[in-house]
Amino acid sequence: MENYSPLLRTLLENRGIKTAEEAEKFLNPDYARDLHDPFLLPDMEKAVVRIFEATEAREKIAVFADYDCDGLPGAAILHDFFRQIGHTNIEFYIPDRNSEGYGLSIKAVEKLAALGAKVLITVDLGTGDIQEVATATALGLDVIITDHHLVPPDGGARAYALVNPKLGNYPEPMICGAGVAFKLVQALVKKYGEYWKIPEGFEKWLLDLVAIGTLSDMVPLLGENRALAHFGLKVLRRDRRPGLTELWRQARVDTRFLSEDDIAFTLAPRINAASRMDSPWRAYELLSTSDPLAALSLSDYLLKINNERKILVTQIMREAHVTLDRRNIREVVVIGNPKWRAGVLGLVAGRLCEELRCPVFVWGGDGESSGELKGSCRSDGSVSVVDLMSSLSDDIFTDFGGHELSGGFSMTREQVHFLEEALSESFRKITPSASGTSPLSRGRREGVYDAKITLGEVNLETYKQIEQLAPFGVGNPKPIFLFENITVNEIRQFGKGQEHLEITFLDENGPASPAGKRKIKAISFFSQPEKFIRPPMAGGRINMLAHIELSRWNGSKDLRLRIVDII
């Protein structure tokens, strides 16, 4: 490890990397070394053989994919594969988030059977859809599930093939839904690629879609996932898909420097806005189209629908803050309104979870005065939301599911009044060490930082060292730096609604230019000074936790700090 700088060595050690060999593997992903044999996944051989038989017999294959930024890229992966081998007898089905909800439905299965489908491939769903898979099987469909969600205690759906990394002994159980779809294609190419005359390396050009799913779905960016994201970003920078080319152009993103932040803050919101506000189909078309004219209209549509989504989320957040200001914050926060649109509640839950530093459950009813309530939940990492929901009696939720950090649920209107008390009590049982502490004090990041540095060390050399660890995400968070006792030079709000915060500091110990001391800016989106327990004031001194980032907005380069907390 002595070959690395003190800062880089510290950052690596903070991520559990202790030896030079481990550091070399982490800093230099290798496609051949880091990607596992797809046939290590359960039922993969069975799935691949059945798909081959279906293509040989020209049987209709149906692909049923989730509507989010993991399922849609997964569907596009299969679209590109079947187009490559010339199999055109195929039907893609993406459910409507608001009217059909998550997962397989019996109505959709019956429709696909009526269309003559003989094989049904799921993407990013299906593991828990026991009745729906049974219905499909009874209707003569061989169901091949590709999914990554948690497997129920009963073993999940009895499908023809259940390809899920959380079953069996696959070395990387945390790959995303698009990743599992990619592994299916990887296996098909490995077994039958020569027969189909598939060009060598064809599947590598699908890694852009895998990266979108991997970076959007909050899976740990370690091992195989890190390699998939790393090489997927390289493909994305090559800019080969007309839909993505147009989307990046409209967003003024320079694809030469495309990063995980561009996926998280530009691409994913637009892809997800389609299903949240209208139909997911156009988002799928954007990812799969080869027509530049279609790409232009699809990108325009996603821009429009995402702007509508932003307005709606802002309105709901304002209403939520009014309600929360009148309440005591418990271990778990539950908030909702029958008028709130279910499709955007995950975004609201995510923002409130970040603000309150505790698990948050948000429910809505799409403006209906009766019927079932739907909701989304997010965790700050203190507890698994799936564990929280699983611990409650069966009569609380009519349906629920998800991952450790995010999930969804349905429930009756009568039960919602007892939900916060039940979840908070469950939280205390699951995490007894947190009992009696408020979320704000429990979640504060005091002392949680990678290194202590000065404003003078905020420079391109430091940034380049940090970037060697990219891409960042779950399991490999962006490094947090502590800046101690720094003087606030100026504070201002910016943005259309003055909703963002910018703090300017002077590098007091650095060299001065004719214009004076070097200015260093720190920003926090959707933030006010009062958000922090110790609000900053011009002329005052603060301790600040922040990331170092390089903004390339609109062609300019701006090295700045992204505020994590003021302590």
Place of tokens 């279910």: 342
Question: pLDDT digit string (tens) for 489-511?
Answer: 999 999 988 989 999 999 877 77
Closest to 431 (Cα-Cα) out of 67, 360, 60, 439: 439
Cβ within 8 Å of residue 306, ≥6 positions away: 269, 270, 273
Predicted local confidence at residue 447, as pLDDT? 44
Confidence at residue 545, expressed as pLDDT on a 0 to 100 scale: 95
Q: What is the pTM of this model?
A: 0.89
Cβ atoms 286, 298 nearer than 8 A = yes
Could you give the 3-state DSSP secondary structure of residue 330? Answer: coil
Task: Judge if the upstream peptide bond of residue 242 is cis by omega within 30 degrees of 0.
Answer: no
SS3 43: coil
What mean pLDDT comes out for the span 252-281? Answer: 95
The token pair at 102 is 């998550």
Q: What is the pLDDT of residue 433?
A: 57
Question: pLDDT (tens digit, 9 = 90+) per residue, 95-108?
Answer: 998 888 889 999 99
Share of the chain above pLDDT 90, in %: 80
Residue 335 has pLDDT above 80, yes or no: yes
pLDDT band at 226, cuts 50/70/90? very high
Question: Is 70's pLDDT higher than 80?
Answer: yes
50 has a pLDDT exceeding 90? yes
Could you give the domains of the chain? Answer: 34-203 (3.90.1640.30), 327-443 (3.10.310.30), 451-566 (2.40.50.460)
Helices (H), 239-291: 242-250, 260-262, 268-277, 281-288
pLDDT in tens, 419-467: 999 999 999 999 865 444 443 333 334 448 999 999 999 999 999 999 9
Q: For residue 248, what pLDDT is reported?
A: 96
What is residue 473's DSSP assignment?
B
In the structure, what pLDDT confidence band is assigned to residue 514 with cuts at 50, 70 and 90? low
Task: Tell me the average pLDDT across 136-155.
Answer: 94
Write down the pLDDT at residue 261.
Answer: 95
From residue 177, how far is each of 199, 208, 215, 217, 544 by CA, in Å? Answer: 25, 14, 11, 8, 37
Long-range pairs, 353-357, Cβ under 8 A, ≥24? 353/378, 353/379, 353/380, 354/380, 355/531, 356/324, 356/329, 356/380, 356/439, 356/440, 356/443, 357/439, 357/440, 357/442, 357/443, 357/444
Confidence of residue 370 (pLDDT cuts 50, 70, 90): low
Q: What average pLDDT does range 113-136 have in this prediction?
A: 97
Contact (Cβ atoms closer than 8 angstroms) between residue 351 and residue 318? no
Confidence band for 555, pLDDT divided at 50, 70 and 90: confident
Lowest mean pLDDT among 31-45, 226-240, 512-526: 512-526
Residues 6+ apart with CB under 8 A from 331: 358, 359, 423, 424, 427, 428, 434, 435, 439
Which one has a higher pLDDT value, 400 or 41? 41
How high is the mean pLDDT of the chain? 92
State the average pLDDT over residues 157-178: 97
Structure tokens at 226: 């890190």
User: Burial code of 196-231, b = ≥16 C-beta within 10 A, e = fewer?
Assistant: bebeeebbeebbbbbbbbbbbbbbbbbbbbbbbbbb
**pLDDT the model gives residue 446:** 42
What the block records as the tokens of 260 is 């995980």
